[in-house]
Amino acid sequence: MQMGVMPPLSFSICRFTALLLLLLSTFPCRGFEFQEATIDGIQLAFREGSLTSRRLVEFYLTQIRALNPLLHAVIEVNPDALRQADLADRERRSGRRPCGGLHGIPVLLKDNIATRDRLNTTAGSFALLGSKVPRDAGVVRRLRRAGAVILGKANMAEWANFRSLDAPSSWSARGGQGRNPYVLSADPCGSSTGSAIAAAANMATVTLGTETDGSIICPSDFNSVAGIKPTVGLTSRAGVVPISPRQDTVGPIGRTVSDAVQVLEAIVGFDQRDAVATKAASKYIPRGGYKQFLQVDGLRGKRIGILRAFFTFPNGSVQQKVFEEHFNTMRQKGAILIDNLEISNLSIILDAAQSGEEVALLAEFKMALNSYLSELSSSPVRSLADVIAFNDKHRIEERVEEFGQLVFLAAQNTTGIGPAEKSAIARMTQLSIQGLERLMMENRLDAVVTGNIGVTSVLAIGGYPGISVPAGYGTAGDPFGICFGGVKGSEPKLIEIAYAFEQATMVRKPPSFRK
């Protein structure tokens, strides 16, 4: 969970940036341009024989070795990644299986997404190191079936930022402090910190993140990448270290909307182990998948509501100017923008103590985490109480003096879904129906658009989808994104809008590693 705005942090800065950039720019490419490579470009090069999956994995491993000491985006590299790449190359050469989509594509997973292989799955915490998961997460099974190469595990805010209010939203005990590759002293946000940084800094082709409230949208926004937070239940949460089954969702992060969409297409669908949610959401999956919505004229005729509450940038700021230009571009591309819309009860929705989100998440987390931990094949910790005790015993490694574990302690105090939790959940449902849904219905909207990450709680408590796309860079070179959100199952429209916006603006630049 992304818990509000974190205080600005300053760090001592690595001095090796120039050297690293030199090193990377001289990496032998044999004609294929590895930097900013897209899935379509890679698949073309595979078909033409100018690239192998092995060469691609080798490139990302080199990037990780060079950049990770600076960026802390990756916790573990998969010792079997090259073997998987070789297998993909053999399959392609033999013509034994159709090799489209993600076949041979290296994917980096947030460290809370289980893999039953030599990689650990720890949500960034030492407490889960050495635990054995019973099986791959549902989304990982789908990735493997699609032929993807599992490159490794991405750093993240420890426990998806649900341990404490005082820890940075981009730090874990195992992975360290993630850095923003554009401005190293800037917050990279979280909790899918490493997933966004790694995509931004060309350390993987694409990555997976998870979101409970803001954890895909915020780091995507801060690191100039495209992130999709799918409707809750569209992607299976089985085998994902949880916060709340009511709000958790797994989604892709990539350098382009098209790359993210291709991953989304591969990971959606029913999963027996997350049956209720994935069955309910499977009605939203369009026949023919999601790639068909990658249309350059996707903005034409779309009714998009501007939520000005999320565009409160100072007069004369870069952001204010850039977003007005973007609105003009969207109008030129045929969108109908409905301005100055307001979501009812927004101040309640944005205050987790008032909306009910806080009460519900604390109780849901304890139950869901205990259930996840009890299903592990082996583990040093079997319950939230064990994790709390582990932290008390490992105060140095887990930086307990500084960050504490207040959220854990508050969650441990809960006793299931009682009257208070039920009423909190009912309030969130009511706020969502009276809020985003009513606004969209009354104005016949296809989507809403927002310019900072404040909207994430609106999307979170309703289980709604959102897509973040790079929108610009501030005066210091710090990236900012634009977010398109909508009602449950509106991914096809959001993809049309996000893709057409991206193609019309082409904002993204590779990172500059400024201090």
Tell me the catalytic residues: 110, 191, 215
* Least distance to ligand NAG, CB of residue 62, Å: 18
User: How large is the C-alpha radius of gyration of the chain?
Assistant: 21
Query: Closest CB to ligand NAG among 395 and 515?
Result: 395
| Binding span for ligand NAG by CB under 6 A among 132-140, 230-238, 273-281, 343-351 | 343-351
Query: Closest CB to ligand NAG among 74 and 143?
Result: 74
**What phi and psi, each to the nearest 5 degrees, are found at residue 324?**
-65, -40
Question: With binding defined as CB under 6 A, does residue 427 bind ligand NAG?
Answer: yes
Query: Closest CB to ligand NAG among 1 and 266?
Result: 1
Hey, what are 228's tokens? 């999709």
* Least distance to ligand NAG, CB of residue 503, Å: 31
Which residue in 43, 52, 115, 120 binds ligand NAG (CB under 6 A)? Answer: 120
Query: Closest CB to ligand NAG among 58 and 117?
Result: 117
Contact 262, 39 (CB under 8 A): yes
**Footprint of ligand NAG on residues 128-167 (CB under 6 A)?**
129-130
* Least distance to ligand NAG, CB of residue 414, Å: 9
* Least distance to ligand NAG, CB of residue 409, Å: 4
Counted residue by residue, the chain has a size of 515
Question: With binding defined as CB under 6 A, does residue 301 bind ligand NAG?
Answer: no
Which residue in 118, 353, 401, 415 binds ligand NAG (CB under 6 A)? Answer: 118
* Least distance to ligand NAG, CB of residue 443, Å: 14
Question: With binding defined as CB under 6 A, does residue 415 bind ligand NAG?
Answer: no
Query: Closest CB to ligand NAG among 130 and 418?
Result: 130
**Footprint of ligand NAG on residues 76-115 (CB under 6 A)?**
76, 79
Query: Closest CB to ligand NAG among 231 and 379?
Result: 379
CA distance 439 to 23: 52
Question: With binding defined as CB under 6 A, does residue 418 bind ligand NAG?
Answer: no
Binding mask 304-333 for ligand NAG (x = CB under 6 A): ----------xx------------------
Which residue in 17, 185, 295, 345 binds ligand NAG (CB under 6 A)? Answer: 345
Query: Closest CB to ligand NAG among 17 and 320?
Result: 320
**Footprint of ligand NAG on residues 430-459 (CB under 6 A)?**
430-431, 434
**Footprint of ligand NAG on residues 483-512 (CB under 6 A)?**
none
| Number of neighbouring beta carbons within 10 Å of residue 164 | 21
**Footprint of ligand NAG on residues 349-378 (CB under 6 A)?**
none
* Least distance to ligand NAG, CB of residue 155, Å: 13
**Footprint of ligand NAG on residues 375-414 (CB under 6 A)?**
406, 409-410, 413
CA distance 146 to 141: 9
| Number of neighbouring beta carbons within 10 Å of residue 443 | 14
Question: With binding defined as CB under 6 A, does residue 344 bind ligand NAG?
Answer: yes
> H or E element: which one contains 139?
helix 138-145
* Residue whose token pair is 């979501």: 343
The DSSP letter of residue 214 is S
Q: What is the dihedral of CA 107, 180, 156, 411, to 10 degrees?
A: -150
* Least distance to ligand NAG, CB of residue 45, Å: 28
* Least distance to ligand NAG, CB of residue 79, Å: 5
Q: What angle do CA 33, 36, 41 make, to 5 degrees?
A: 65
What DSSP letter does each residue of 441-500 carry, written as one string? HHTT-SEEEESSGGGHHHHHHHT--EEEEEEEE-TTS-EEEEEEE-STT-HHHHHHHHHH
Query: Closest CB to ligand NAG among 294 and 359?
Result: 359
CA distance 466 to 214: 10
Alpha carbon distance, N-terminus to C-terminus of the chain: 27
CA distance 171 to 64: 18
Contact 249, 235 (CB under 8 A): yes
Q: What is the dihedral of CA 67, 1, 313, 326, to 10 degrees?
A: 70
Kindly give the residue spans of alpha helices, DSSP state H, lying in 223-315: 257-267, 275-282
Contact 272, 473 (CB under 8 A): no
Q: Which amino acid is at 498?
A: A
- What are the residues binding ligand NAG (CB under 6 A)? 76, 79, 118-120, 129-130, 314-315, 344-345, 348, 406, 409-410, 413, 427, 430-431, 434
